[in-house]
Structure 1
Amino acid sequence: MLITFSALTSIPLLWLQIAIVAVWVLFILLIAWWVNRFANRDPEIVRKIVHIGTGNVILLAWWLDIPAIVGITASILASVITLLSYRFPILPGINSVGRQSFGTFFYSVSFGILVAWFWHLQQPQYAALGILVMSWGDGLAALIGQRFGTHKYKVFGREKSWEGSLTMTLVSFVISSLILICTQGNNWQTWVISLVVAIIATGLEAFSFLGVDNLTVPLGSAALAFVLIQQLVL
């Protein structure tokens, strides 16, 4: 009788969790639509609003303890939709970056991999770290670099700016520090690991092509933080 009751009560809770995430995603898409329609038609601004806003879904998944299967399923669906959008105009504003890129697809895939990996290990904070380093770090680096990046350098033919890369490093360091302080405590290991993660994430973001940094940055950041914690703290 207890099992039946638990099963019945868990179903409404799961749908409530999904509804909260869905409302957040819809809210972000509405903001992006409003900016595109009324405030600023720059497609890069719209892309970064979606890029950063949807990245925060990982925090909701972590805090609400959403089952891994939900995140994995959402990742698969998003990946299929983004792949189709490269052939059909499903997400024209999101995928228009002025160059050939599969960044949106890799972004969706990385979400599913990190959820599957770290939910299984019962260490969701590392999935959150990886996704947020990508969403906030890369997102703000692109905006700052395009608007204020006057000191340029090239990597594999792609032009980058030192201002954008510095932004990536600083934001990645802040995000990593906040998450590790909350989960591991305020100690020297937290600050050292956060710095290492920030530097490596910046390198992965710089040495990328076809948008593959949307896969290498979150996976690399999460994996590096996880391994270093095991070696230096546990």
Structure 2
Amino acid sequence: MCWNVSLSLKLPEHQTIVLLPNNYLISLVLHQAILAAVCYLTGWCVLRWDVKVNYTRKINHFMLMLIPFVLAWWLPYVPNVPTTIASLVTFVTMTSLFLPPIRNRVPLVATAFASVDRPEDRPHTIAWIMSQAVAAYLVILVVFLTLRWLKAPELIAIPLLINGIGDGLAEPIGIRFGRHRYQVPSLAAGRCYTRSYEGSACVWVTSVIVILFLLPTLSWPVFIALVTWVPPIMTLTEAFSPHSWDAPFMYAMGGACVSLVLLLVG
């Protein structure tokens, strides 16, 4: 079968810029299909087996962040501004299915929503998910353009993976093993949430591992600067970011740190 549905722009000089490559479009469809299936299965576990939503939500978080990296090995494409915007529009559209008029009428959607609806977030669950996503994608776009200008766009993987893995592990690790807790702010007035030092340590450890993984692509001065500054900055950012809204802050601070290192050391 020949896939030929990419969105392109033809220039006067008969050059063509592919805005939404075929591989990206296929990856986008697969990503959403897999994510929808995972949301339904984890929501079913919440409703049927009383699994903590804090765990299932982070499973969904992992899948949301990591599936694109896995699909990129099979269906490689060059990210650009249109692909980032398309991903944001798709995420917002899919999340809109969780709005009450739809989920109250479609049991399948209601089950999937159960996988992300933490009781402590109600009634702001959807508002926080969607607003965080919009802010996060906008920050990612700025970080990507900055790193591309610095000729190191691949290093956007640093804040993306630290958030996807480190922050993804922080909550379940904190719930299971957290003994030393501290309070964090919230977007909702009058609410107070807690995190744990044990959970925050996941961000530090993940930051070091991600940078070590990228060592073959880095010079030694850049590597030393990154491994010195990124882990504490990302850990502190996760620690002090508002509850359920830490991704934009982690992307912004991680991207700023990587960019400054490249400017000063690279």
Which residue is equivalent to 2:7? none
Which residue is equivalent to 2:202? 167
Which residue is equivalent to 1:37? 44
Tell which deviates more after alignment, 148-157 or 212-221: 148-157
User: Deviations for 1:178-220, whole angstroms, at most 9, x for unmatched residues?
Assistant: 23x24324x2531331331111111111112242312101111
Kept in 1: contact 2:184–2:240 (CA 8 A): yes
Corresponding residue SS for 1:56: helix
Which residue is equivalent to 2:66? 56
Q: Does residue 164 of structure 2 align to residue 135 of structure 1?
A: yes
Kept in 2: contact 1:72–1:113 (CA 8 A): no
Q: 1:72 to 1:128 in 2, by over 3 A?
A: farther
Q: 1:149 to 1:140 in 2, by over 3 A?
A: same
Structure 2: which amino acid aligns with 1:131? L
For these two proteins, the number of residue pairs brought into alignment is: 227
Kept in 1: contact 2:166–2:202 (CA 8 A): yes
Q: Does residue 109 of structure 2 align to residue 109 of structure 1?
A: no
Kept in 2: contact 1:58–1:128 (CA 8 A): no
Q: Does residue 229 of structure 2 align to residue 229 of structure 1?
A: no
Which residue is equivalent to 1:71? 84
Q: Would you tell me which structure has more helix in proportion to its own residues?
A: 1
Q: Does residue 214 of structure 2 align to residue 183 of structure 1?
A: no
Offset, 1:64: 2.1
Which residue is equivalent to 1:20? 27
Offset, 1:84: 7.7
Q: 1:111 to 1:215 in 2, by over 3 A?
A: same
Corresponding residue SS for 2:203: helix
Corresponding residue SS for 2:21: helix
User: Deviations for 1:111-135, whole angstroms, at most 9, x for unmatched residues?
Assistant: 3432354245353223322222111
Identity over aligned pairs, percent: 19
Larger Rg: 2
Q: 1:57 to 1:46 in 2, by over 3 A?
A: same
Kept in 2: contact 1:153–1:160 (CA 8 A): yes
Calculate the TM-score normalised by the size of structure 2: 0.70
Structure 1 runs not aligned, ≥5 long: none
Which residue is equivalent to 2:189? none
Q: Could you tell me how far apart the structure 1 residues matched to 2:152 and 2:100 are?
A: 37
Q: Could you tell me how far apart the structure 2 residues matched to 1:137 and 1:201 are?
A: 10
Q: 1:41 to 1:33 in 2, by over 3 A?
A: farther
Q: Could you tell me how far apart the structure 2 residues matched to 1:169 and 1:78 are?
A: 28
Corresponding residue SS for 2:164: helix
Which residue is equivalent to 2:117? 96
Q: 1:28 to 1:194 in 2, by over 3 A?
A: farther
Q: 1:72 to 1:26 in 2, by over 3 A?
A: same
User: Deviations for 1:148-186, whole angstroms, at most 9, x for unmatched residues?
Assistant: 11222234443221110111111122123323x24324x
